[in-house]
Amino acid sequence: MAAAPLLAGLIVLALLVFLGRGYIRTSPRNLVKGMRFSGGLLLALITIALTLTGRIGFAFLAAAGAWALLFGTMPPWLRPVQTAGGGGGQSRGEALRNPPTTSMSRAEALKVLGLHEGASEEEIRAAHRRLIVQNHPDKGGTSYLASKINEAKDVLLRR
């Protein structure tokens, strides 16, 4: 009985050594592709082990990770369900990526930038810069917040 985990560990170690030999002299792009493939393969093996041990919930999670690494898309069992007839609404993911656009009022723009009525152009630009640095998508913010901050600046500067 104690030999099974040892055997599994040796198999995983052998796979890592076998797959790792090809990573020594390769370009960064091929290294990333190889690491994604290796990670996906390892997660697929973990999925099989979890399924055989009856841990189906964890197996679905591992399978989702393997699918994402190997195919670069969301697994089919995690995709939003399409309604018959296509429906006119957006899925949750589409709504987060493409929120409905409405024109922003001057009062809302002032509130977004944290300014008061009569703020100077310099104050508007300074508030915009401070908020965009904090909420830029490259710094962990969202593109939606960045677009609202930019829209607020444009409304206040009447562009």
Q: Where are the alpha helices (DSSP H) in 55-142?
A: 56-71, 92-97, 106-113, 121-135
Q: What predicted TM-score, i.e. pTM, was given to this entire model?
A: 0.40
Q: Print the SS3 string covering 21-65.
A: HHHCCCCHHHHHHHHHHHHHHHHHHHHHHHHHCCCHHHHHHHHHH
| Residue 108, domain extent | 102-156
Per-residue pLDDT in tens (0 to 9) along the chain, 159 residues: 577 888 888 888 887 777 667 666 777 787 778 788 888 988 999 999 999 999 988 998 899 989 888 888 888 877 776 655 554 455 555 555 555 556 888 889 999 999 988 889 999 999 999 999 888 888 778 888 888 999 999 998 886
**Does the residue 121 lie in any domain?**
yes
**Does the residue 108 lie in any domain?**
yes
**Does the residue 123 lie in any domain?**
yes
Residue type, 108: E
Annotate 77-98 with b (16+ C-beta within 10 A) or e (fewer): eeeeeeeeeeeeeeeeeeeeee
Residues 106 and 71 grouped into a single domain = no
* Total of domains in the chain: 2
